[in-house]
Amino acid sequence: MHFVLRLATALTLGCLVWFVSADLSVSAQSSTTNPYRATFGWEQLPEGRVLGTVSGVFPDPDGRHLWILDRCGANECAGTDLDPIMKFDLEGNLVDSFGAGLFAFPHGFFLDHEGFLWVTEGGSHGDSRAVAGEAMGIGHQVLKLNQQGDVVMRLGEAGVWGDGPNHFNGPSGVVVARNGDIWVSDGHRGGNNRIVKFSADGTFLLEVGGGVGSESKEAARFSDPHDIKMDSQGRIYVADRGNSRIQVFNQEGELLYIWTHYGKPSGLFIDRNDILYAGDGLSGMVRTGPPDNWRSNLGWEKGIRIGDLKTEQAWVTHFIPQHDEDVGAGIEFLGVDFDGNIYAGEVSRRRLVRYVPHRPSELIRTQ
């Protein structure tokens, strides 16, 4: 009898702990502060020109301009003569643009410490978004451009997919270290499921994960690595979107952390104070079929999660929920200017949302 009572008590406490833990994990997501308000129509474009899917935003080092990667007023650039790379002042006025004809499905975007712009072609072979580019003989590359729009370096072979040291399959993101080393997340959904490191001259150095059909929940493996960023310590952050987690690596490609408290991250941004912003535009959307069936991340809200990478585990301290009725894929790309304003690209609505700080926040005060 005493054994049964002790067993029942233990089971009850076990259930209580589970429910409390589950409750805490949910409330931790929804009770964090939101010191931002959404604004619209910041961008001032020529008559007839509209933004499509914005897949990258970076502040210029001069502190007076912002660079945006746009999919040519739609969700791809193939067949248009529009410029996908755009330079704005902080009042939203367009001051320069270039890149027409270079990309079919521009995806990853990065501005390095020397002022060079990097763009990836994110359509993986077999995905409808790669078809037009492959037919045009472009895609599956990472391009480096100067601020006059000249291509000064190419990684990968135009229009040719593969998983060796000289080929990509829909590279989704790129980040460059101060010593010039280049990291690429390769690739987009159905792609190579790996991250790759190159030296400044494009020499292959290492890879982690890899191969079409290699989607896996295992540590240091990936399912749709959708973005890649680096902090001031040189740690590499991968938005392992299909697995609803962020994986963190050192410069040797060794795994440091696996974080599941940032929802289902599509896009990452790390500011100069090592504040991490993670855009989640897919949580709660039921996803079935190939390449996997565990992608839905039910029970989580879409939005932007913010944490401080200078703290242990970088727990989420601010959460900006999706502000509108759900119409499909939401925020997948984002950037932050030096004043703490967040610029987020929504996929289904094909619009840019500017989130402006409207009340005190310890994160905003550190900008």
Give the chain's domain count: 1
- 19 domain residue, yes or no: no
How does pLDDT run across 206-255, given as a tens digit for each residue? 999 988 888 999 999 999 999 999 999 999 999 999 999 999 999 999 99
Domain with 48 in it: what CATH number? Answer: 2.120.10.30
pLDDT at 294 over 60: no
- 276 domain residue, yes or no: yes
- 125 domain residue, yes or no: yes
- 97 domain residue, yes or no: yes
255 in Cβ contact with 247 (< 8 Å):
yes
Host domain of residue 129: 32-365
- 5 domain residue, yes or no: no
pLDDT at 19 over 50: no
**For 171-175, 196-200, 324-328, 334-338, which range has the lowest pLDDT when averaged over its residues?**
324-328
pLDDT band at 340 (very low <50, low <70, confident <90, very high): very high
Query: Could you give the CA distance from residue 72 to residue 85 in angstroms, rounded to a whole number?
Result: 9
- 75 domain residue, yes or no: yes
- 224 domain residue, yes or no: yes
pLDDT band at 190 (very low <50, low <70, confident <90, very high): confident
pLDDT number for residue 327: 81
- 3 domain residue, yes or no: no
